[in-house]
């Protein structure tokens, strides 16, 4: 069970979740599919892949090699603050680039929600070890439900996949004793609320 929980923790590592979110949101919302054909999604996903996965992971591996990080899961307080700051910078760059290529406000609002989530984790990390994993996937569920409020469309099978993903990653973090239940629950709740608000009301700067 421990090995499976570690596998789930890696597959659903927060660094991968923005790509999962965009794919699930795009798949669940016919309005977005109408605005952005699949051919246009390819460069968007490539930018997302480079800025939110490849570059942060390369930075994390470099810092781990230098002894700044002991684990890619950012278990220690100082590691979490540095890691969250790194993620914030790369996501902010993505947000700015997406603003420049004239994407629908819905997509941009997703990244405002992610940036706000990372800011909250950074600010409270000295006092409370909120689960980044459940925060991230709670955000995925919140984004899908928020877009239902905004556009009136929802694919219940995709929503079910997102909820199952949240349940699996939350259980995995508890099995590994990486977090207390309250830390996992607050992570899921914060992620859900922030992404529901930004996506549901199409908020962006």
* Cα dist from 170 to 54, 76, 84, 177, 178, whole Å: 24, 19, 19, 11, 10
pTM summary value: 0.94
Of 90, 70, 92, 175, nearest in space to 133 by CA: 175
Q: Do residues 42 and 94 touch, judged by C-beta distance below 8 A?
A: no
**Each residue's pLDDT tens digit, 34-56:** 999 998 899 999 999 999 999 99
**Each residue's pLDDT tens digit, 168-193:** 999 999 999 999 999 999 999 999 99
Whole-angstrom Cα distance, residue 132 to residue 61?
A: 18
């Amino acid at each position: 069970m421990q090995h499976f929980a570690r596998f789930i923790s890696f597959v659903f590592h927060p660094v991968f979740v923005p790509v999962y979110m965009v794919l699930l949101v795009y798949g669940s919302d016919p309005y977005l599919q109408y605005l952005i054909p699949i051919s246009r999604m390819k460069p968007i996903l490539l930018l997302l892949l480079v800025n939110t996965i490849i570059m942060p992971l390369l930075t994390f591996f470099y810092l781990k090699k230098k002894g700044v990080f002991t684990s890619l899961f950012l278990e220690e307080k100082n590691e979490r603050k540095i890691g969250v700051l790194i993620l914030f910078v790369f996501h902010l760059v993505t947000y700015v680039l997406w603003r420049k290529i004239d994407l629908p406000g819905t997509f941009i609002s997703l990244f405002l929600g992610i940036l706000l989530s990372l800011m909250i984790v950074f600010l409270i990390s000295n006092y409370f070890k909120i689960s980044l994993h459940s925060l991230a996937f709670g955000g995925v569920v919140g984004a899908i439900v928020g877009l239902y409020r905004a556009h009136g469309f929802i694919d219940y099978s995709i929503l079910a996949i997102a909820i199952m993903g949240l349940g699996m990653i939350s259980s995995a973090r508890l099995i590994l004793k990486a977090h207390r239940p309250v830390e996992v629950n607050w992570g899921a709740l914060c992620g859900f609320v922030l992404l529901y608000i930004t996506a549901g009301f199409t908020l962006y700067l």
